[in-house]
Structure 1
Amino acid sequence: MPHWTALVAEKKQRQLESIPQEWIVTPPPDSTLDVTEFPETCGLLNAREIEITNTSVQVLLEKLARAEWTAVDVTTAFSKRAIIAHQLVHCLTEIFVDRALARAAELDDHLKKTGKVVGPLHGLPISLKDQLCIKGLETTIGYASLIGQYADKNAVLVDVLIECGAVPFVRTNVPQTLAWPESFNYVFGRTTNPYNRSLTSGGSSGGEGALIALKGSPLGVGSDLGGSIRIPSAFCGLYGLKPSYGRVPYSGTRGTLEGQDSLVPVLGPMTNSVVGVKAFMKAVVNAKPWLKDPLVVRKKWDEDEYNLADHGFGKDLCFAIMWDNGVVVPHPPIRRALEITKAALQKAGHKVVDWKPIKHRELGDITASNIFYTMQRGIMNAASAEEFMITTSVTGEPLITTMELDDADTAVATFRPQNDGLTVYQLWQVQKLRQNIRMEYLDHWEATVSETGTGRPVDAIICPAAPFVATPHGKNRSVYVDYTIVWNALDYPAAVFPVTTVDSTLDGKAPPHGFYDDFDKDIYEMYDPEKFKNAPVCLQLVGRTLEEEAVIRMTEIVDAAVAAAK
């Protein structure tokens, strides 16, 4: 194998050559932090392309189905805007515009000849995280060592989306190994946050988050093992959904920790509207993906569940707010978002109670979510160090040990902390403990029937997606993802929705609270409202296992209540 640096140089050149030269723009200087308006002012997009890329998924699908806009025109508009976004925040990996336009032309021809759409996503451009294999393309998942390995077939979800009429057109950046809540690797560099480029876009689906925030894609697919859909969605002001295990086909996707099937990754949508989340999930599950992936649950879209048949049909819902997880207290903007949401729901006639978290610290330990900074002996790091070393040893590629600007961008990292691993028996004990806590959590949720006043347990939990908004690069402390990964451990679906943005006047530093421990104190001390200026503030809505339809509908209800209260 060539040395990793030679592989990277060659790959970067090929990526550059995949960008149409007439779409090259002059980006603003690094001192310009907020670049969200640049795509529409740089002069590359015409008025119609700006209109197309500002249109919601629902309206796009309607106009495409009526042939008011052609799939070629829509794909061209989003491709151009995606290339602009890439030049601003380094969000793309694979760029295959010619292939996408050829597919779009086929769809236009089919509609013209038959008068019928190919499927429910007819003509919609969809971006994909650099995990979803596409025949003939490389899937590096952030490793230089995987350059040159071409897929011989599509991931199952890619085939499903194509059958639904979608047009895959770009893939997006991730961190090396996928196992970071930020997005940096030696191949494609660092993805930044378009609202404030001194902040991270999150990870591991950080490229998707940044691209969609700049409206370079109407709908993207991310993956989530511990928060990798929800953290970038939250940091970039998007809507995103982590489904339960087996609801969306994962087969054929390239990932990290493959073969570990106790805590498994899931694929899900990221978009600028909750309607886009629904469109994706309804199309995918109605395509009968269980006939293509043996691990998919045999469950079509359930309209009764979407209409909240098990939740009083949406009348007088009772939401529980989890103000903190008993481990780390959220920063002031997160607290304000929770207060805004509570007030909006009460104004809309719903009931709000407090959620009492149980065993969230234990769930974090079981998953070992602080995977690179501790010696915790949990599921995710049972053999992760060995996998990372095996993958990179072929080319001499070093493992990245930090996302800090000074280290990661200027020096070659040579060491990542390792654990001793687990014996098979020890791993079984961890998995058994997780099973037991899942039972306890179910009982805990059921017991809330005594305080809701609806005759039902709490309908959904609303909580932070992280204790902070998008952080400066390298400052997502200790890879802290416990606000998201607990729901992976419990297999609860969770949707992210935007509420507000950081306001230095409203979100001043809070006085010190009674710290849970030194780590909680460290998180408190990192907050400075000026550093987080303009960052989106989002929350999570959590439902019960395989209750995606209800989670989507309740997210729509919460989203509408928050919008009405503004």
Structure 2
Amino acid sequence: MASWKELIEDKRRRQQESIPKDWLITPPPETICDVTGFPERCGLLSEKELLITNTVDVDTLLAKLASGEWSSVEVTTAFYKRAIVAQQLVNCLTEVFVKRALARATELDEYLKTTGQVVGPLHGLPISLKDQICIKGLETTMGYASWIGKYAERDAVLTEILYECGAVPFVRTNVPQTLMWPETYNFVFGRTVNPANRNLTSGGSSGGEGALIHLKGSPLGVGSDVGGSVRIPALFNGIYGLRPSYGRVPYEGAVNSMVGQDSIPSVLGPLSNSISGIKAFMQAVISRKPWEKDPLAVRKKWDEEAYALSEHGGGGKLCFAIMWDDRIVVPHPPIIRALEMTKAALLAAGHAVVDWEPLKHLELANAISAIWKAGSGDDFQATTAATREPIIRTMSPVEGEAMDDETIRPEETGISAYQLWQIQRERAELRKEYLDHWQKTVEITGTGRPVDAIISPGAPFAAPPHGKNGYTNYTKVLNALDYVSCVVPVTRVDTSVDVKKPAHRFLNALDESNYNQYDPVVFQNAPIGLQVIGRTLEEEAVIAMAEIVDSALKATAAA
């Protein structure tokens, strides 16, 4: 077998050859941090292609595709060109397969022209996929040199369903090696950076998706989330992202880390520049009855009554609870400002707002981390054994790129099955405590119901510099609880407003470290989003409540 470095060299060559030469551009120098406006200026996209890719509302795109006003070939070509520009700016792609995608788009156009009917609810729409969702005949390396040359013999169930819905899978996107990082870097494809400020991370592990959609190189993408891997890139890139409950979106046939760890399952979820994209994806996928293709998929049809908020007073007057901090790490000033903006917007829209008291978030976070570490070290080493590819131990740009063949994460140690059972038991007990805690809020809401949803930070900071995203408890506690969470973008770091505040009484060393990390100049222009959180299997209601939050924020901004 070739060495892992030789495999990488060959893979990078083949990736570069898959990009049409007339789509190559001259990217701006590395000293230009904000590249979000570059696709408009680079000259590659025509006026119509810019119009298409700047149409961020997925419902509008689907309507134009269904009517034939825009062909799937036109739309796919436009987004493909913009995706290739994004790749040259922020390094977000893994697999590029232009001819295959355009052939699919051509078939869809012919079907619509011949029959007058769409193939399905996502007819003609290009969709990007995280590099773990298999497409037959393509490699899925998931950032591992050891998996270069492994070609999928069949589609993942989700890929199959997307085809049935009329979609056009057109690119795959970058991830961190092992997936178990909230940033995106691997030896195969390198580092994905943030379009708003290339000195900052795009998040992870769906960081390629986040950066691509941030640059409007895809209207709708799919990531995965075991501890925040959909939501962190959504937060850091100013887009929408949904973490569904276990099994609501089919996972079968996708590759993954830690396969067999089913106490905290990873879930697949959508990312988009529009909330309509989140809803369209969930409705379309669920409409194909995924439980008939994936034995672990939940047998639950799309519930229109739940989307109409039938269990939440019809949505007329909701009671949101704001979690200002998790009692472990206090967020930076821009995050607090986003919470204050959201509270004001919801009050102006006629909703009630109360404070949320977090319950045992440290214990929940420790439980999920212990479950992951029970066998993750063995899993990573087994995966890389064939080529002796190093296991990345840091996302630091200096240390992480050292490529030391003896690199290993020393903290990854196994435990006995009995010890694992005790952690799983504790986590189950914590879920019950949290449920009871939520139910008791009926005493303070004034609606006769418990709190309808929680508004929470997804991180105590905006997108940090590379190698600095070291605190993920704000997202991963929800994986431990299996709560549905939708990210809604709110604002951006403004150096003139988000000044550093005097030191508060620190909760612990982590809190102090987080406070010391903040410098508004370092974080300048970074997007800021928040989580809208509902309970297990409340996808429809959470999407509806996220729409309400989003509309309230936009109404306030327009006033």
When the two structures are superposed, what TM-score results if normalisation uses the length of structure 1? 0.97
Spell out, residue by residue over 1:89-131, the C-alpha distance to the aligned partner (whole angstroms, 9 max, x if none).
0000000111000000000000011000000000000000001
- Alignment-derived partner of residue 49 in structure 2: 49
Which SS does the other structure have where 2:242 is aligned? strand
CA contact (8 A) 2:176 2:184 kept: yes
Which SS does the other structure have where 1:209 is aligned? helix
The one-letter code matched in structure 1 to 2:394 is T
Once residues 243 and 190 of structure 2 are traced to their aligned partners in structure 1, the CA distance between those partners, rounded to angstroms, is 26
Q: Determine whether 1:426 maps to 2:433.
A: no
- Alignment-derived partner of residue 375 in structure 1: none
Once residues 280 and 243 of structure 2 are traced to their aligned partners in structure 1, the CA distance between those partners, rounded to angstroms, is 15
Spell out, residue by residue over 1:258-312, the C-alpha distance to the aligned partner (whole angstroms, 9 max, x if none).
0000000000000001111000000011111111001111111111000000000
1:445 shift after superposition: 0.4
Once residues 324 and 248 of structure 1 are traced to their aligned partners in structure 2, the CA distance between those partners, rounded to angstroms, is 30
The one-letter code matched in structure 1 to 2:164 is E
Once residues 501 and 561 of structure 1 are traced to their aligned partners in structure 2, the CA distance between those partners, rounded to angstroms, is 17
- Alignment-derived partner of residue 510 in structure 2: 519
Pick from 520, 542, 546 the counterpart of residue 551 of structure 1.
542
Once residues 419 and 222 of structure 1 are traced to their aligned partners in structure 2, the CA distance between those partners, rounded to angstroms, is 25
Once residues 317 and 418 of structure 1 are traced to their aligned partners in structure 2, the CA distance between those partners, rounded to angstroms, is 44
- Alignment-derived partner of residue 383 in structure 2: 391
- Alignment-derived partner of residue 336 in structure 1: 337
- Alignment-derived partner of residue 281 in structure 1: 282
Which SS does the other structure have where 2:398 is aligned? helix
- Alignment-derived partner of residue 249 in structure 2: 248
Once residues 383 and 540 of structure 2 are traced to their aligned partners in structure 1, the CA distance between those partners, rounded to angstroms, is 38
- Alignment-derived partner of residue 529 in structure 2: 538
Spell out, residue by residue over 1:140-159, the C-alpha distance to the aligned partner (whole angstroms, 9 max, x if none).
11111110111100000000
Spell out, residue by residue over 1:223-266, the C-alpha distance to the aligned partner (whole angstroms, 9 max, x if none).
00000000000000000000001100000010001000000000
- Alignment-derived partner of residue 482 in structure 1: 473
- Alignment-derived partner of residue 34 in structure 1: 34
Which SS does the other structure have where 1:352 is aligned? strand
Question: Superposition pairs for residues 304-323 of structure 1, below 5 Å?
Answer: 304-323=305-324
Question: Superposition pairs for residues 210-359 of structure 1, below 5 Å?
Answer: 210-359=211-360
CA contact (8 A) 2:222 2:271 kept: yes
Q: Determine whether 1:405 maps to 2:397.
A: yes
The one-letter code matched in structure 1 to 2:99 is D
CA contact (8 A) 2:390 2:403 kept: no
CA contact (8 A) 2:143 2:177 kept: yes
Q: Determine whether 1:127 maps to 2:120.
A: no
Which SS does the other structure have where 2:372 is aligned? coil
Once residues 54 and 208 of structure 2 are traced to their aligned partners in structure 1, the CA distance between those partners, rounded to angstroms, is 19
- Alignment-derived partner of residue 65 in structure 2: 64
Once residues 411 and 29 of structure 1 are traced to their aligned partners in structure 2, the CA distance between those partners, rounded to angstroms, is 26
1:201 shift after superposition: 0.2
1:410 shift after superposition: 4.6
Once residues 104 and 97 of structure 2 are traced to their aligned partners in structure 1, the CA distance between those partners, rounded to angstroms, is 11
- Alignment-derived partner of residue 473 in structure 1: 466
Which SS does the other structure have where 2:532 is aligned? strand
Q: Determine whether 1:454 maps to 2:447.
A: yes
Spell out, residue by residue over 1:57-85, the C-alpha distance to the aligned partner (whole angstroms, 9 max, x if none).
11110000000010001000000000000
Once residues 467 and 394 of structure 1 are traced to their aligned partners in structure 2, the CA distance between those partners, rounded to angstroms, is 39
Which SS does the other structure have where 2:94 is aligned? strand
Once residues 217 and 282 of structure 1 are traced to their aligned partners in structure 2, the CA distance between those partners, rounded to angstroms, is 19
Percent sequence identity is 64
The one-letter code matched in structure 2 to 1:81 is R
1:418 shift after superposition: 3.0
Question: Superposition pairs for residues 148-187 of structure 1, below 5 Å?
Answer: 148-187=149-188
Once residues 23 and 297 of structure 1 are traced to their aligned partners in structure 2, the CA distance between those partners, rounded to angstroms, is 42
Once residues 424 and 507 of structure 1 are traced to their aligned partners in structure 2, the CA distance between those partners, rounded to angstroms, is 48
CA contact (8 A) 2:173 2:209 kept: yes
Once residues 13 and 75 of structure 1 are traced to their aligned partners in structure 2, the CA distance between those partners, rounded to angstroms, is 24
1:405 shift after superposition: 1.4
Once residues 420 and 83 of structure 1 are traced to their aligned partners in structure 2, the CA distance between those partners, rounded to angstroms, is 40
Which SS does the other structure have where 1:408 is aligned? coil
Once residues 469 and 146 of structure 1 are traced to their aligned partners in structure 2, the CA distance between those partners, rounded to angstroms, is 33
Spell out, residue by residue over 1:161-210, the C-alpha distance to the aligned partner (whole angstroms, 9 max, x if none).
11000000000000000010000001100000000000000000000000
Once residues 415 and 168 of structure 1 are traced to their aligned partners in structure 2, the CA distance between those partners, rounded to angstroms, is 35
Which SS does the other structure have where 1:309 is aligned? coil
The one-letter code matched in structure 2 to 1:538 is G
1:428 shift after superposition: 0.4
Q: Compared with structure 1, are the counterparts of its residues 406 and 420 closer, same or farther at alpha carbon in structure 2 (3 Å cutoff)? A: closer
1:411 shift after superposition: 4.8
Once residues 451 and 109 of structure 2 are traced to their aligned partners in structure 1, the CA distance between those partners, rounded to angstroms, is 47
